[in-house]
Amino acid sequence: MRTFYTEHGKIVFDSNRILIEDNAKKEKYTQIFLGSMGFLLGLSMIYKSFTEGFISEFGIFICLLNAILIILYLMRDFSNEIPFSKIQSIRVKNRLGNVYLKIKLTNNRARYVRGAFTKEKLENFLAEEFQKNSLSPTRV
């Protein structure tokens, strides 16, 4: 069992599962709420433009952008316990200076964990762990 600490919790690699403690569910609901508010703002802009006799392209853009963001957030997985049998691949990514652990699941969803861990330590541990559990190297 190995523990890596994230910005808002920790990741525990158990013998047959990954336990994740973070505020992902709170973040999910916050992002969906904010996206809904943006969508409503875009709708109000479109409605106001119809009353004035023209179509607001900016309102349409805001509506479409927020609808896409809401759909993308709904496609993410936010479970706290992930068995190794449901994992399709694990990647450590570095975006804009932030290190993310991307866990792609067999149901075509992804679980993202933003952490305060170093990329090299986590990559080395994942390679060792997946070799020890005799899992496919393409999954790392």
Q: 44-97: per-residue pLDDT in tens?
A: 999 888 888 777 888 899 999 999 999 988 888 888 888 888 888 888 888 887
Give CA–CA dist 99/133, Å, rounded: 25
pLDDT value of residue 118: 67
Cβ 49 vs Cβ 56: under 8 Å: yes
- Give the pLDDT band of residue 39 (cuts 50, 70, 90): very high
Average pLDDT, rounded, for the chain: 82
Closest CA to 42 of 56, 57, 63: 63
pTM above 0.75?
no
